[in-house]
């Protein structure tokens, strides 16, 4: 399956308007915090990984964190892993930020979501958050 996963945004096919909006963000060199919602298998995670690879170029491993929230859904993961990554200093180019990808974010507990909100507001200048979910109404 990984063999056929798109590597760049030009490899992603789908809703042309949304893809063009994401391409414009990448062209500017940064993205806002995002929530991507849709049924399983439509390419949310693959698209996000393409965006992150293009934005961070050679810094992908040290400046991107991908977590599957359905596996690690408690407040401890948010407080420990996500907060420590957001606090971490990474030497990136001017205007570039670290990116945290939370796949299946609608599985996070309510307490974890409240803790995540605080982390997002505290580290908004150095870290971007991309939440991928099946049902956006489960995100507070």
DSSP characters over 76-129? HHIIIIIHHHHH------TT--EEEEEETGGGS-HHHHHHHHHHHHHTTTTEEE
98-103 and 34-37: which strand pairing? unpaired
CATH fourth-level superfamily of 2-138: P-loop containing nucleotide triphosphate hydrolases (3.40.50.300)
Q: What pLDDT was estimated at residue 4?
A: 86
Q: What is the pTM of this model?
A: 0.91
Q: What pLDDT was estimated at residue 73?
A: 67
Task: Convert the pLDDT of each residue in 21-40 to its tens digit.
Answer: 999 999 998 899 999 999 99
Locate the domains of the chain by residue range: 2-138
Instruction: Calculate the average pLDDT of the chain.
Output: 90
If you average pLDDT over residues 81-90, what whole number do you get? Answer: 92
């Amino acid at each position: 399956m990984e063999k056929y996963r798109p590597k760049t945004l030009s490899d992603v096919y789908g809703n042309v308007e949304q893809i063009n909006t994401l391409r414009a963000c990448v062209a500017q060199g940064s993205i806002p915090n995002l929530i991507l919602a849709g049924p399983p298998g439509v390419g949310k995670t693959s698209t996000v990984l393409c965006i992150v690879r293009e934005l961070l170029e050679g810094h992908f491993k040290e400046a991107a964190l991908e977590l599957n929230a359905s596996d690690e859904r408690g407040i401890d993961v948010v407080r420990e892993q996500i907060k420590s990554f957001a606090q971490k200093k990474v030497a990136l180019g001017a205007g570039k930020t670290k990116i945290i990808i939370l796949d299946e974010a609608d599985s996070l507990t309510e307490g974890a979501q409240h803790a995540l909100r605080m982390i997002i507001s505290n580290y908004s200048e150095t870290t971007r958050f991309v939440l991928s979910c099946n049902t956006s109404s489960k995100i507070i």
